[in-house]
Amino acid sequence: MGAETSPSAAASEPAFAQAPVPADHPGVAELFAVLAYGEISAFYRLAEDAKLSPTLRGRVALASMAAAEMSHFETLHAALEARGVEIYAAMEPFRRSLDAYHACTTPSTWLESLVKAHVGDGIAADFYCEIAGTLAPEVASVVREVLAETGHSEFVVHEVRTAVEKSSLEKDRLMLWGRRLLGEAITQAQYVMAQQEDLADLVITATGDLTNIAALFDRMQVEHAKRMAVLGLH
């Protein structure tokens, strides 16, 4: 998943306080790899979703967001190369779960694509930004850089709010869509951790224990609700 995150999520410190996860932890390469596949997937998705826009302004907005995702991918590519890790082989284990997420959340309308760009990708960003607070500084800086906002939030908010203010039916549809995005994202995040031992160990080391992981997922839902509210979907 891509990286449309909120300033509060990116800047906040995690609720758990742990010693920094060492930069040479084997899970770091897996973290970079899953983020890289998320970024390249977001690039293709945004470029494709741009075709749904009824206006040229909308197409350009999503195309610009896609370009930012590609830039983030290149950052992760360089970070993995610096560790002697071949990016394409490293990304392969994450294809199934992330492709499944996108297959289950393919937008059918322009407004659905905007909601997904704004809140869907933010769900993953919240998860990884919280973890970043306990990573070694050189690792955390890469994570935060690639999870920075891709821009055009004002455009997305204006488009969605204008539409839902005019139609209560559209508002109800998009609220259901937002809940679906949240459910699918959490399901796939849990699947990824269950399948990738080093990444799971990194997350557990970063959070402290399974109870804190559960609390992290709870906070993700709170942040999701905030993003939905910004769009007028509450």
Greater pLDDT, 206 or 106: 106
pLDDT for 159:
94
Confidence of residue 77 (pLDDT cuts 50, 70, 90): very high
Span 155-205, pLDDT tens digits:
899 999 999 999 999 999 999 999 999 999 888 888 888 888 888 888 888
Question: Under a CB-based contact definition with an 8 Å cutoff, are residues 7 and 150 in contact?
Answer: no
| pLDDT tens figures, 78-118 | 999 999 999 999 999 999 989 989 999 999 999 999 999 88
Closest by Cα among 152, 164, 180, 155 to 234: 164
3-state SS of 124-159 is: HHHHHHHHHCCECHHHHHHHHHHCCCCCCHHHHHHH
Three-state DSSP class for residue 18: coil
- Name the one residue in this structure whose structure tokens are 């990016």: 87
Q: Which overall architecture, per CATH, does domain 25-230 show? A: Up-down Bundle (1.20)
Angle ∠(165,168,171) on CA atoms, nearest 5: 80
SS3 content of the chain, % helix, strand, coil (to 5): 80, 0, 20
Please give the mean pLDDT across all residues of the chain. 86
What does the pLDDT look like over 139-152, one tens digit per residue? 999 998 898 766 66
pTM of the model: 0.85
pLDDT score for 212:
78
Whether residue 186 contacts residue 39, with contact meaning beta carbons closer than 8 Å, is answered with: no
User: To 10 degrees, the CA torsion angle through 190, 192, 194, 195?
Assistant: 160
Higher pLDDT, 25 or 11: 25
pLDDT at 11 over 70: no
Q: Can you give the pLDDT at residue 9?
A: 43
